[in-house]
Homo-oligomer: A and B are copies of this chain.
């Protein structure tokens, strides 16, 4: 975005951080991995786990929320790993991604790998299986709306990273891991063919036919954020999965 160069101060509103008040290179310059997930408490538990795995655990075991000035998102950091919550669905992960990319840019980070983790619904996938996404399939196409016009953007993710994660899964041996396509929906109930929402104008047979069609086109899980996250990784040159 060429407009960024003209700005005196860049305020990341939804992180409650700004270049005028925070020293981005000092705070974030060493970041090499960004892991994002829906729930703030889960991303806090994740950073505590990562700290322990990397031998960087804090004595009290407490990790301060870098975005404590807002209740929109939570952010934690240990060594080269940043852990950020993104809420549920495309709009909040889109806002988070805009501000995260600007944060990494202002902090002059390089060679950053981003990984989107979280729960998803599996299609004919054994419970507990981990799905590494290959390509994101939006409900119809991977599209965003810019100035009222629909724009199509590629949601292909890094193939090499998928292979590396698959290899990690095999080495750990505790997870049943597959690589598959992910379907990204705008809603949890009607968007995913669930029968237990407040409104449901289809029957079980129609639901199963819909899920079978998705499975036949390579879809192995359904969630609500992947397409825009993938598109923004692609556009901004971040290696993502």
Contacts and interface: CB of A to CB of B under 8 A. Distances in A.
B147 A94 contact: no
A117 to B, nearest CB: 16
Contacts of A97: 198
Interface string A54-82: 00000000000000000110000000000
B188 A95 contact: yes
A71 B193 contact: no
Contact of A10 (B148, B150, B196, B213): B196
Interface of A: 1-4, 7, 10, 14, 39-41, 71-72, 87-92, 94-95, 97-102, 105, 139-140, 144-148, 150, 185-191, 193, 195-202, 206-207, 210, 213-214, 224, 228, 232, 235-236
Contacts of A72: 39, 88
A89 B86 CA distance: 12
A92 B92 contact: yes
A195 B40 contact: no
Contacts of A232: 198-199
The complex is assembled from copies of this chain, and their number is 2
A99 to B, nearest CB: 7
B147 A140 contact: no
B198 A1 contact: yes
Given A1-B200, A199-B1, A202-B146, A87 B90 contact: no
A186 B71 contact: no
Contact of A196 (B4, B87, B94): B4
B236 A199 contact: yes
A109 to B, nearest CB: 13
Nearest to A1: B200
Contacts of A41: 71
Contacts of A39: 71-72
Given A1-B197, A91-B90, A200-B3, A140 B148 contact: yes
